[in-house]
Amino acid sequence: MDLFFEDMASPSTSQSTSQSTPKTGHGDSQMTPEPNHDSSFGKFSTGSMTEAQEKHTSSSIDTISKRVQELVEKINEDRTSDQKVLDSFNEKLVQKVREGCQQMKEHMYMVYEGNSNEMQVKLQDLSEVLESCTKLCRELQEAKRALAGLREGLAITMTGSP
């Protein structure tokens, strides 16, 4: 922007009168004629000065408008670029999350499979223990019946012999 204001401060006239322009870069260019004792200065019309000022002001406004439009376009391009970067980041993040979920799922299934194998072994052991318990329970029932039969036999014998 400094270059722009320097352009505004430079004189843009093709007139023969000398003009003073500020070099501060603030864009306050006023055309003030130096005192001149030449009789041609009296013939120089104020309307010409105003036209030159209007042309310079119009040119400055056009330059500013053009510069503003360029800045707005640059901002819009940057925003579009930012949106593309954000979209790309979003896609990559979603892909990484999918990959992470897939890896977690695969690990979970491996753990399930390992647990299933361990449970299968333990269930087999439990089945064998329960089978043994069932067999022992039948044997106990047979022993109980045998004892009941023995008791009845002893009770008959004891009541029959005096």
- Radius of gyration for the alpha carbons in the chain, expressed in angstroms and rounded: 54
Q: Is residue 38, in this structure, part of any structural domain at all?
A: no
Q: What was the pLDDT predicted at 9?
A: 43
Residue 130, both tokens = 């329960």
Domain residues for the domain of 116 are 46-162
Q: Is residue 20 domain-resident?
A: no
Return d(Cα 2, Cα 28) in angstroms, integer.
14
Please report whether residue 9 resides in a domain. Answer: no
Beta-ladder partners of 17: none
DSSP run (H or E) holding 28? none
- Percent above pLDDT 90 for the chain: 55
Residue 11 lies in a domain: no
Structural domain tally of the chain? 1
Separation CA 88–CA 18 (nearest Å): 60
Residue 109 counted as domain residue: yes
* pTM of the shown model: 0.42
Q: Is residue 40 part of a domain?
A: no
| 25 C-beta neighbours (distance < 10 Å), count | 14
Answer whether 9's CB lies under 8 Å from 23's CB.
Answer: yes
Question: What does pLDDT average to over the chain?
Answer: 78
Reported as a single tens digit per residue, the pLDDT across 44-81 is 444 555 777 777 788 889 999 999 999 999 999 999 99
31 touches 50 (CB < 8 A): no
Quote the tokens at residue 133: 């318990």
pLDDT at 40 over 80: no
